[in-house]
Amino acid sequence: MIDLDSFDIGILRALQEDARLSNVALSEHVNLSPSQCSRRLARLEQSGAIAGYRVLLDQAALGLDMTALVSVTLERHGENPAAIFHEAVLALPEVLECLLVTGDADYQLRVVAPSLADFSRFVLDRLMKLPGVASIRSAIVLEAVKAMGPLPVAPG
């Protein structure tokens, strides 16, 4: 874990809101010179605090009108069944997140699809056929009240 001061926190917060800020705009935002801001940004990237940069796409604008949370339980547990499932689920672009969880299920997936019919085909034709899958339960998301908010960055 990297120690963060108020300038680092300001940089991280600003970039979570708009990762396309120029170095000059970012430096103005956090009240640092552009060269100091650039050095701090490089340090945050090298330390792994900044893991990468992405563009945020509008799901509805791209015709992906449906989101579901899918709980998956495996038939058997252990290193090999889990590794096989992990590899298989990584190849499914409809799965935005796959989390190993505690509780009744083994995994929680966030899945997108154009429609309920497309989601149904995905579950029946692809997800249920993954190696080791014993059962699936899904919940359709009615509204995303808060989706992928920024991380609550605080001093280390």
Give 111-128 pLDDT, tens digit per residue.
999 999 999 999 999 999
- Report the alpha-carbon distance of residue 70 to residue 99 in Å, rounded: 10
- Which pLDDT belongs to residue 155? 65
- Which pLDDT belongs to residue 156? 55
Query: What would the DSSP string read from start to end of 37-73?
Result: HHHHHHHHHHHTSS--------TTTTT--EEEEEEEE
Best CA proximity match to 74, nearest among 119, 108, 105: 105
pLDDT band at residue 9 using 50, 70 and 90 as cut-offs:
very high
Average pLDDT over residues 65-82: 89
Give 14-24 pLDDT, tens digit per residue.
999 999 999 99
Average pLDDT over residues 139-155: 86
Q: Is 135 helix (H, G, I), strand (E, B) or coil?
A: strand
Question: How confident is the prediction for the chain on average, in pLDDT?
Answer: 93
- Which pLDDT belongs to residue 154? 77
Average pLDDT over residues 136-152: 90
Which structural domains are found in the chain, ordered by start? Answer: 6-47 (1.10.10.10), 66-140 (3.30.70.920)
